[in-house]
Amino acid sequence: MNSFKDVFENYQWEDIKARLEKVGLSDVRNSLQKKHKTIEDFLILLSPAASGELEQMAGIAQRLTQKRFGKTIQLYAPLYLSNECQNICTYCGFSLDNHLRRKTLSDTELMVEASVLKSMGVNHVLLVSGEANKIVGLSYFRNAVRLLKPHFSNISIEVQPLEEEEYKLLHHEGVHSVLVYQETYHQDVYKQYHPKGKKSNFHFRLDTPDRIGRAGIHKIGLGVLLGLEDWRVDSFFNALHIDYLQKQYWKSKFSVSFPRLRPAEGIIEPNFIMEDKDLLQLICAYRIWNEDLEISISTRENEVFRNHIVTLGATAMSAGSKTNPGGYSVDKESLEQFETSDERSMEEIRNMIKKAGYDPVMKDWESVYSGC
């Protein structure tokens, strides 16, 4: 059975890094003029040389986004189910070695949190949890989806990697999309960031999007944790992964997120600093390379950046986010996964989007359309 691993093993981290450094300004300009972009063009647009063409890249990204998605921004909110986790990850507030109070929502608490989100106008909810199979495993997720499905038009999940059959069951329950991040594609140092737990298995996590695709999930979301390793090299491998998946599972849609390392309990400092202009270049490179890719911007980013990115490539945004289980009303002081930067309410974000001349979309999918 084919998997992304077969593609991944044909590329070396240091080779990609060297190729990025060799890109010249003429390469960038030639790439921008091409009608059909390849993964090699994405590498060129990621390069240090391409930063000199950022204004032109932003203009192209804006035009392509409006052409494909119109002047709309889909809004969603995360709903954290549990901060229990059996992994040690050096960058995460939920890490097992952080000896702080843990919380898993009961059915009643889950519905209280859901009611708050509904009062905010939320119709697209992202269910998030730490990775603790015995406490929050498949049965917990199936129950949560069943409880929430009557109240939300779109349910996505960001939980521990599951088996293909488990994804099929969640798809049957009504899960629309699954987000899973490799964190870093630098295999040589991956273990240093994940010293304990199932997440330390690099290849099991690498194969997860294949299992999601084979399960027939409508949309698959990928990303890397920006700040662990060289953002340019990591992002090339992430795009390489998306390129493979789109060809292999062409019935699914794909999205990319850009989590930058944010402060949290007990985490490391960023290994690589990514400036706002770097993130803008990355977003523009993705859009110019792939017109169909959905681009999501979380509340990790600051107000100023989020205000501007509305018109430059974004298609989805979270708003009013709480990154701890019960954070909306049930248990506001429970351990959070990371600190948010943009703390504006859902209503404030809606007004910001309207002021920019775009339409905030609270509902753009009904599970009935997928036969769920």
Does residue 204 have a pLDDT over 70?
A: yes
Within its chain, how far is the Cα of 79 from the centroid?
15
Q: Which two tokens stand for residue 214?
A: 């084979």
Q: Which residues make Cβ contacts (< 8 Å) with residue 335, sequence separation at least 6?
A: 83, 93, 94, 98, 100, 101, 102, 103, 265, 324
Q: State residue 155's pLDDT score.
A: 97
Q: What 8-state DSSP symbol labels residue 51? A: G
Does residue 25 have a pLDDT over 50?
A: yes
pTM higher than 0.85 = yes
Within a 10 A sphere around the Cβ of 27, how many other Cβ atoms? 18
Q: Which amino acid makes up residue 316? A: A
Q: State residue 262's pLDDT score.
A: 66
Which phi and psi angles does 195 have, rounded to 5°?
A: -75, -20
Q: Where does the pLDDT of residue 268 fall: very low under 50, low under 70, confident under 90, or very high at 90 and above?
A: low
Taking alpha carbons only, the member of 369, 366, 8, 2 closest to residue 214 is: 2
- In 3-state terms the chain splits into helix, strand, coil percentages (rounded to 5) of 45, 15, 40
What confidence tens digit (pLDDT) does each residue in 70-97 have?
999 999 999 999 999 999 888 887 888 8
Give the Å distances, CA to CA, from 128 to 80, 131, 180, 189, 358: 5, 10, 11, 26, 28
Please compute Rg for the chain using Cα positions.
Answer: 20
Q: How far apart are CA 140 and CA 172, in angstroms?
A: 15
Q: State residue 90's pLDDT score.
A: 84
Q: Which two tokens stand for residue 194?
A: 């994940």
Alpha helices, H only, 47-137: 54-69, 107-119
Region label for 97, one of left (φ > 0), alpha (ψ between -120 and 50) or beta (otherwise): alpha
Share of the chain above pLDDT 70, in %: 92
Does residue 333 have a pLDDT over 90?
A: no
Q: Per mean pLDDT, which of 232-246, 270-284, 333-347 is the most reliable?
A: 232-246
Taking alpha carbons only, the member of 9, 8, 10, 40 closest to residue 27 is: 40
Q: Which two tokens stand for residue 244?
A: 């493979």
More confident residue, 293 or 269: 293
Q: Which amino acid makes up residue 184? A: T
Largest CA distance in the chain: 60
Q: Where does the pLDDT of residue 365 fall: very low under 50, low under 70, confident under 90, or very high at 90 and above?
A: low
